[in-house]
Amino acid sequence: MSHAVPDVTGPSARAVELVEALVARGWTLAVAESLTGGLVLAAVVDVPGASRVLRGGVVAYATELKATLLGVDPDLLAARGAVDADVAIAMAAGARERLGADLGLGTTGVAGPDPQDGHAPGTVHVAAVGPLHARVVSLHLTGGRDQVRRDARDAVLALALDMARPAG
């Protein structure tokens, strides 16, 4: 049960900045992930002291779990499918409410290699919902499946950091 060399390089600078910004603001965090499948949560947990801010998260990989676990409107899912900007916002809002956090994050999209519901691989929506407002960013990413998922992770961490930082 041991390895000579750790298989990762330590916490990402972006995740460290996010945890620091949340601590400074007195905010807690909850995450709802679809295509990123645990990568956002893993990045935050990697930061020493993450337990001061992280409540937890949900990986709703199967579409109907977005409704049952996160409270996303089933009619919205039926009308638009899971790859949708409003679904990303509803996932973030659901994580925020159901896990009792100040800031909720959501990711949905197509990692590839195949299209989903008519959306090309690399189509990604990431959202953040805070106490006062919500934001969503829609991206068309390039690269393979891993690259798309990692860029989506980085995009939602950047959006979260932007939300958590005090207005300048």
For 167, left (φ over 0), alpha (ψ -120 to 50), or beta?
beta
Q: How far apart are CA 10 and CA 92, in angstroms?
A: 26
The one-letter amino acid code at 111 reads: A
For the CB of residue 112, give the shortest distance to its own copies in the complex, in Å: 10
CB of 89 to its own copies, least distance (A): 19
Contacts of 5 (CB under 8 A, 6+ apart): none
Nearer to its own copies, 7 or 75 (CB): 7
Residue 146 CB, nearest approach to its own copies (Å) = 5
84 or 151: CB nearest its own copies: 151
Please give the structure tokens belonging to residue 64: 């109907």
Distance CA 21, CA 104 (A): 15
Contact set with its own copies (CB under 8 A): 1-3, 6-10, 31, 33, 37-42, 44-46, 48, 50-51, 54-62, 65, 68-69, 98-99, 139, 141-143, 145-147, 149-151, 154-155
Closer CB to its own copies, residue 50 or residue 93? 50
In whole angstroms, what is the distance from residue 148 CA to residue 135 CA?
20
CB of 42 to its own copies, least distance (A): 4
Please identify, using beta-carbon distances, which residue of 134 and 139 lies nearer to its own copies.
139
What sign has the CA pseudo-torsion 88, 94, 97, 101? negative
Question: Residue 83 CB, nearest distance to its own copies (Å)?
Answer: 13
